Amino acid sequence: MHNQPYICINKNIGICEQWFDFAHELGHVIKHCRNQHRLPAIFVDFQEKQANNFAEHFLVPTFILEKMNFPPPVQSEQNIFYMMKLFPVNRTVAKSACFSIQPPYSRHVLIVTTFINENNAQKPLHL
């Protein structure tokens, strides 16, 4: 293990926490070089957020979630519980994953207005 990255996992914590710790630390190995001991606090915080984000997407891949048909609302307790059964994550990670997937129609809202013609009749505005 000389100069090779390694990840130690605490066997005394729950399996979901073990998976999250592994994914979080893997995020550091993949995204960051060297250790954080000499970095300013703001950069350490940034790296921790990046590693958390990596762990969430590693454990609950968004590309898989987007292919699933969750009954609305996506952030319902039923869907959160289902994700916890499907993936090795706790409620916090499952809930965060729910917010990362939105139905296609809600990602980009297109507002279609109507206009009133000379006879005061509303007509749809075609784009």
Residues 95-113 pLDDT 10s: 998 887 765 545 444 444 4
- Reported confidence tier of residue 77, pLDDT bands at 50, 70, 90: very high
pLDDT at 46 over 80: yes
How far is the C-alpha of 50 from the C-alpha of 12, rounded, in Å? 25
| Percentage, residues of the chain above pLDDT 70 | 78
SS3 state at 123: strand
Alpha helices in the chain (DSSP H): 15-31, 41-59, 62-65, 77-86, 91-100, 104-107
Domains in the chain: boundaries:
15-124
